Chains A and B, each alone.
Chain A
Amino acid sequence: MEKSNYQNYRIDAENICVDYNGKVALYDANLRLKPGQICGLVGMNGAGKTTFFNALTGFVNLSKGKIRINGESLRSAQKDQTIAYVPQSEGIDSQFPVNVWDVVMMGRYGSMNVLRCPRESDVQAVKDAIERVDLTNFLSTPIGNLSGGQRKRTFLARAIAQRASVLLLDEPFTGVDIRTEKLISELFIQFKNEGKTILLSTHDMIHVREFCDLVLLINKTVVAYGETSEVFTPENITSTFGGISPDVLFGPES
C-alpha cells in the first residue's frame, strides 16, 4: 500500500533528522500531505518549526531520513519549481532596494535562462499574481514603503507567480491587517481547489482551527499529527508547549 500511494503525496517526509554541528534540532519527524490539504505546523519557539521548513526547502541537509515531493527527490522538485517558501516578516530585509514587481519576478527566476531575462509569459505570470493579491497599484513601490500586510502579499504573489504546488508559509498571519488576513484566507480556499498543498506555521490557535485540515504538533519531534478536530486537543497542545496550559496560550496570543 505504501509503495502504490507513493506518488499521491505532495509532501512525504520520512524520519527526518536535522542537526546543526551536532546539536539536534529535529529528529524522527514524519509528515505526509496530499494535494489540497492545508496543514498547520504548531510548536514553541525553538521547537524546530523553522528547521522543518529549512529541511523541506533544502536549506539544510538532513542527517537522516528522506523527503519526497510529488514522489520526486527534493533536488528535482527544486528544479521543477514545485516548492515555494513565503518567509516570515522578520526573515527578510525590508530595506533591500527592490520593489513589488522585482520581488514577484523572483518567483520566475528558476524557470528563466541564466541571465534571468523575463519572457512574455513571465511578465504575464507576474502581472496575474500581483492582481490576485490586490497590489496592482503598488507595482513600483519599494518593499520598504509597504505595510506589513502588503509585504506579506507581495511574497505570496511571488509564490503564486512561481506556480508551485507546495506552499510553505512561515507565520503568514503575524503582523498583517484584517484585509490581508481576509485575502489570504480566500487565497487558501482557491489554492485548495487548485490542488496545492499548504504547510503553514502559526502561533495563533484560532487560525489553526479556522484554516487547517490537519495539524502537526512538534517539539523537536512530532508530538501529534492528524485531523485538526481530533489532534488539536488541549492535552496535546499542553504537551507540545512543555506543560503550559492552553488557556494561557489561547488568551493573549490571539
Chain B
Amino acid sequence: MELSLLSSINTFVTDPLTHDFMRKALFMSSLVAAVCGFLSSYLTLKGWALMGDAVSHSVMPGVVVAYALGLPFSLGAFIFGVGSVALIGFVKQKSRVKEDTVIGLVFTGFFALGIVLVSKIKSNIDLHSILFGSPLGISLSDVNQTVLISLLVVVLLSVFRKDLMLYCFDPRHAKTVGINVLFLHYLLLTCLSLAAVVGLQTVGIILVVAMLITPGATAYLLTDQFDNMTIISVLSAIISSVIGIYCSFWFDLETGGSIVLAQTFIFLFAFLFAPRYGIFKFKKFFSNYK
C-alpha cells in the first residue's frame, strides 16, 4: 500500500519528465517565472501594476508584425511595449484626461490593433498561443531568444537592484545624490517590456500581468526585507510554474491558466496565514503562548 503510494507519487513527478516537450516547458516556464518574479518586487512597490498590464497588452501588434515580417518577435514586442509607455506619457501630458484612463485607453487600442492585424495578415500566427501562451510548444529559436532576453533582464536588474530599490522608495533622494533617475525610470520600463515579451510565451498576453505582480504581492506579505522579498518572489513564481505545468499535464488543463492560478493560490495562502501581515496573525497567536 505504502509502496504503491510512493511509486505513484514517483510516477506523478517523473513521468512528465520523460517527455522532451515537458522538460523544455518546465525549464522555460521556470526561467520566465524567475525573471518576472524578480521584476515584480519592483513593480508592486512602485505601484506599476496597471503599467504592467498596459505594456503586456500593448506588445500584441508588435508580435504580429514581427512574425509577419520574419523578424524576431521580441524586437517587435519591445518596440510596441516601450512605444505604448511613451504614448501614455505624451497623451497624459497633453490632455486633461486622468492617467488611469489614458493607460486603459492606450493599451486597449494597441491590443485591438493587434487582433485586427492577426485577422488581416493571415499568416500562420496562432492567435490562441499569443493570447494564452504555449509553453509546451515553444520552438527552438524562441527558446534561444527567451533565454537571451531573460539573462539580459536578470543582469540589468542585478546590477541596478539597489538603485532601482532606491528609485522606487525615494526618487527625490536618488536625484539629490546625483543618481540618474530618468535612466532608472526607463531601465525599469525596458525590463518591464522585456519581461512581458518572455512572459507572454508561457502564460500569454492576457495573463502575463499576473506573473509581473502576484509573486511580488505574495512576497510583500511575507517579509520586511527587500532582498528577502525578491528571493521569495522569485521562488514563489518558480514553484507556481512547476505546479501549474504538472497540473496541466495530469489534469489536461490550460497551462498558462494553471500557472497563474497556482500563483493566486500561493498569494491567497500568504494573505490568510502570513505571520505578520496575514489575516490570521500567527506570530501573535504563538507569542501569546510564550
Chain A residues with CB under 8 Å of chain B are 21, 54, 57-59, 75, 78-81, 83-85, 87, 91-93, 96-99, 102, 106-107, 109-111, 114-116, 142, 144-145, 158, 162
Look across to chain B and name the residue whose beta carbon is closest to the beta carbon of A92: B170
Q: Is B162 close to A, CB under 8 A?
A: yes
Q: Is B229 close to A, CB under 8 A?
A: yes
- Identify which of B93, B159, B162, B179 contacts A21 (C-beta below 8 A): B93
Contact B226 A79 (CB under 8 A): no
Chain B residues, CB < 8 A from A162: 177
Contact B170 A87 (CB under 8 A): yes
A77 to chain B, nearest CB (A): 8
Contact A97 B223 (CB under 8 A): yes
Contact A85 B162 (CB under 8 A): no
Contact A93 B169 (CB under 8 A): yes
Given contacts A96-B169, A97-B220, contact A102 B226 (CB under 8 A): yes
B100 to chain A, nearest CB (A): 18
Q: Is B239 close to A, CB under 8 A?
A: no
Listed by A's residue number, 20 A-B pairs whose Cβ atoms lie within 8 Å are: A57-B175, A58-B175, A58-B176, A78-B176, A80-B178, A81-B177, A81-B178, A85-B176, A91-B172, A93-B45, A97-B225, A97-B228, A98-B165, A98-B225, A99-B224, A106-B166, A106-B170, A109-B179, A110-B177, A114-B159
Q: Is B283 close to A, CB under 8 A?
A: no
Given contacts A97-B220, A98-B226, contact A116 B162 (CB under 8 A): yes
A208 to chain B, nearest CB (A): 24
Contact A110 B229 (CB under 8 A): no
A21 to chain B, nearest CB (A): 7
Contact A85 B225 (CB under 8 A): no
CA distance A111 to B225 in the complex (A): 23
Q: Is B185 close to A, CB under 8 A?
A: no
Q: Is B173 close to A, CB under 8 A?
A: yes
Q: How large is the interface on B (under 10, 10 to 19, 20 to 34, 35 or more residues)?
A: 20 to 34
Chain B residues, CB < 8 A from A142: 224-225
B96 to chain A, nearest CB (A): 10
Chain B residues, CB < 8 A from A102: 226
CA distance A113 to B209 in the complex (A): 33
CA distance A97 to B45 in the complex (A): 9
CA distance A142 to B276 in the complex (A): 12
Contact A97 B226 (CB under 8 A): yes
CA distance A96 to B165 in the complex (A): 10
B256 to chain A, nearest CB (A): 29
Residue in B169, B173, B224 with the greatest tally of chain A CB atoms within 10 Å: B173
Look across to chain A and name the residue whose beta carbon is closest to the beta carbon of B162: A116
Q: Which of B209-229 contact A (CB under 8 A)?
A: 220, 223-226, 228-229
Contact A57 B176 (CB under 8 A): yes
Q: Which of B165-204 contact A (CB under 8 A)?
A: 165-166, 168-179
Contact A109 B163 (CB under 8 A): yes
Contact B226 A87 (CB under 8 A): no
Chain B contact residues: helix, strand, loop or mixed: helix
CA distance A140 to B172 in the complex (A): 24
A76 to chain B, nearest CB (A): 9
Q: Mark B25-46, 1 if CB is under 8 A from A, else 0.
A: 0000000000000000000010
Chain A residues, CB < 8 A from B173: 85, 87, 106, 158
Contact B175 A98 (CB under 8 A): no
Contact A116 B226 (CB under 8 A): no
Contact A144 B93 (CB under 8 A): no
Residue in A79, A85, A87, A144 with the greatest tally of chain B CB atoms within 10 Å: A85
Contact A116 B163 (CB under 8 A): yes
Chain B residues, CB < 8 A from A110: 177-179
Q: Which of B33-85 contact A (CB under 8 A)?
A: 45
- Identify which of A79, A116, A145 contacts B178 (C-beta below 8 A): A79
CA distance A21 to B168 in the complex (A): 24
Chain A residues, CB < 8 A from B220: 97
Contact A59 B163 (CB under 8 A): no
Contact A84 B176 (CB under 8 A): yes
Contact A115 B169 (CB under 8 A): no
Chain A residues, CB < 8 A from B159: 114-115
Closest 9 pairs between A and B when the two form their complex, measured CB to CB: A110-B177, A142-B224, A78-B178, A116-B162, A79-B178, A57-B176, A97-B226, A97-B224, A85-B176
B120 to chain A, nearest CB (A): 38
CA distance A92 to B171 in the complex (A): 10
CA distance A27 to B169 in the complex (A): 30
CA distance A106 to B166 in the complex (A): 7
Chain A residues, CB < 8 A from B229: 97
- Identify which of B165, B176, B179, B225 contacts A83 (C-beta below 8 A): B176
B7 to chain A, nearest CB (A): 43
A184 to chain B, nearest CB (A): 19
Known: A57-B175, A97-B228. 7 other contacts (CB 8 A): A58-B175, A78-B176, A87-B170, A93-B45, A97-B45, A97-B224, A116-B163
